Amino acid sequence: MAEQRMDEDRILATDVTYRYPDAERNAVDQVSMRVKRGEFLAILGHNGSGKSTLAKLFNALYVPESGTVLMCGMDTRDDELVFEIRQNAGMVFQNPDNQIVATIVEEDVAFGLENNGVPPAEIRVRIDEALKIVNMSEYARKAPHMLSGGQKQRVAIAGVLAMKPKVIVLDESTAMLDPSGRAEVMNTVHRLNRDEGISIVIITHYMSEAATADYVIVMDDGKIRLTGTPRKVFSDVETVRSLGLDVPPMTGLAHDLRHAGIDIRPDVLTVEEMVEEVCRLS
């Protein structure tokens, strides 16, 4: 049973603490959480809440001062495992321009593979597969700087995908994109989660993105303050707002209507659900 549980956990953090040099308090403070195989997790929190620090602990960019982080069963404190950990846990950051290193899209996707000594024939196969999955095959020979923000971020995701990770961590990867670009990226990661079985962790400021996750964690001052499904977390409107965040627009509207005496479900997330509720009342 223990071996089965280990196989189910892509990320397992236990009592994890991390503090930046000269900082007065811990950036991550006694955090315990897990990401299961095939799960889509959203981590929320205001600036300085510790969510991005936690993300960097997942693939050994940072190492906990106390507690443990296991990535696919591997302890991130083990220097000999760092290479394998980062192959299993790909990261996509906020600015795609900071991740694109080549002048041709397919060469950028190949970069990590070449550094890892993957045979050229296998590199070709993996490039084609990764670009196909993110719907960027037709741009393989294009210059990245000619692409839109959403397209660049999909190229960055393709570069991670080519490494065949079990987990992809997106650290505010839609923050610099327009609504169209955000939709492109979110559609891509949901498809990877659904069709490829890749566990997804997304750190985001957008409540609408978090509402599509399987599970939500809300952080504040380095600690986890709320956990649960999007419906459970966001229906606690007052607590979410007290932590410096907002809720999805339809959840906020349902909250206001309930305060006005109208019998609306408190866990409405989408426009479609709100329409159903209004029709039920009419």
pLDDT at 99: 83
Encode pLDDT of 67-99 as tens digits.
Answer: 999 999 999 999 999 989 988 999 998 888 888
Mean pLDDT, residues 156-172: 91
- For residue 23, what are its two tokens? 């900082």
Q: Is the pLDDT of residue 2 over 70?
A: no
Single-letter amino acid, residue 29: D
pLDDT at 164: 87
Measured distance CA(32)–CA(207) in Å, rounded: 23
List all residues 6 or more positions away from 169 whose beta carbon is below 8 Å from its beta carbon: 55, 58, 59, 89, 90, 91, 92, 201, 202, 203
249-to-107, 115, 141, 184, 199 alpha-carbon distances in Å? 41, 45, 41, 21, 27
Measured distance CA(269)–CA(276) in Å, rounded: 12
Q: How confident is the model at residue 269 (pLDDT cuts 50, 70, 90)?
A: very high
Q: Which domains does the chain have, with CATH numbers?
A: 2-247 (3.40.50.300)
DSSP SS3 for 95:
coil
Measured distance CA(202)–CA(169) in Å, rounded: 6
Mean pLDDT, residues 180-188: 89
Mean pLDDT, residues 147-165: 90
pLDDT at 7: 58
Q: Is the pLDDT of residue 5 over 70?
A: no
Encode pLDDT of 104-146 as tens digits.
Answer: 999 999 998 888 888 999 999 999 999 998 889 999 999 999 9
Encode pLDDT of 186-234 as tens digits.
Answer: 998 999 999 989 999 999 999 999 999 999 999 999 999 999 999 999 9
pLDDT at 181: 85
The backbone torsions φ and ψ at residue 30, rounded to the nearest 5 degrees and listed phi first, read 55, 50
Please report how many Cα atoms fall inside a 13 Å half-sphere around the Cα of residue 276, on the Cβ side: 8
Q: Is the pLDDT of residue 32 over 50?
A: yes
- Strands 215-220 and 89-92 turn out to be unpaired
- Long-range (24+ apart) CB contacts under 8 A made by 267-270 are 267/231, 267/232, 267/234, 267/235, 269/211, 269/230, 269/231, 269/234, 270/211
20-to-5, 33, 46, 221, 225 alpha-carbon distances in Å? 32, 21, 18, 13, 21
List all residues 6 or more positions away from 139 whose beta carbon is below 8 Å from its beta carbon: 105, 131, 147, 151, 155
Q: How confident is the model at residue 19 (pLDDT cuts 50, 70, 90)?
A: very high
**Closest of 192, 242, 248, 191 to residue 216, by C-alpha:** 248
Encode pLDDT of 33-71 as tens digits.
Answer: 999 999 999 999 999 999 999 999 999 999 999 999 999
